[in-house]
Amino acid sequence: MSTGHSSEGTDKFADLPEARARGLRKMEEVYGFDMADGEGDFFRYTADHLFGDIWQRPGLTTRDRRLLLIGLLAGRGAADVLGIQIPAAYANGELSEDELREIVVFLSHYAGWPDGARMNTVVEETIGKARRKAQRS
């Protein structure tokens, strides 16, 4: 997981406005991969507001927000975005193998079996990749 800091310990976002830097650091935490600054209003609202503010509000943990988002994405059939959120949640230790599998069973009954099957594929691929990586280590 990246934290917005380079290997030398310096903040790679230090030259950016605080709202943008805070948002990009949170995006790296949530998505689990390195982020770079972007252009345009859509990116500005995503980084500065959604991740710099909304994802950091008190009252819900990152895990809580992730669970809500996974439920919403499953309900919308957004397997592409689940393919980002589920591996990140697993890699960050927010959700275990058993929890991910239980989420699939539960949400399949609300989101529909075809979308549940797609989510199950994402979960099983995530777990399989992690196990193969652990065996190589």
Return the closest-CA partner of residue 25 out of 46, 4, 47. 4
Q: How many CA atoms lie within 13 A of 44 on its CB side?
A: 4
What pLDDT sits at residue 1? 47
Q: In sequence order, which ranges of 1-112 are alpha helices (DSSP H)?
A: 18-31, 40-44, 62-76, 79-91, 97-111
* 18: confidence class by pLDDT, cuts 50, 70, 90: very high
Sequence-distant (≥ 6) Cβ neighbours of residue 20 within 8 angstroms: 13, 37, 44, 47, 48, 52
Domain parsing of the chain, residue ranges: 1-57, 62-136
Calpha distance 1→62 (Å, rounded): 14
Instruction: State the Rg of the chain over Cα.
Output: 16
- The CA-CA-CA angle for residues 24, 73, 55, to 5°, reads 30
Mean pLDDT, rounded, for 82-107: 97
Mean pLDDT, rounded, for 75-97: 95
The predicted-structure confidence for 22-80, as pLDDT tens digits, reads as follows: 999 999 999 988 999 999 999 999 999 999 999 999 999 999 999 999 999 999 999 99
Mean pLDDT, rounded, for 12-25: 93
The predicted-structure confidence for 104-121, as pLDDT tens digits, reads as follows: 999 999 999 999 999 999
Helix 113-136 to helix 97-111 angle, to the nearest 10 degrees?
170
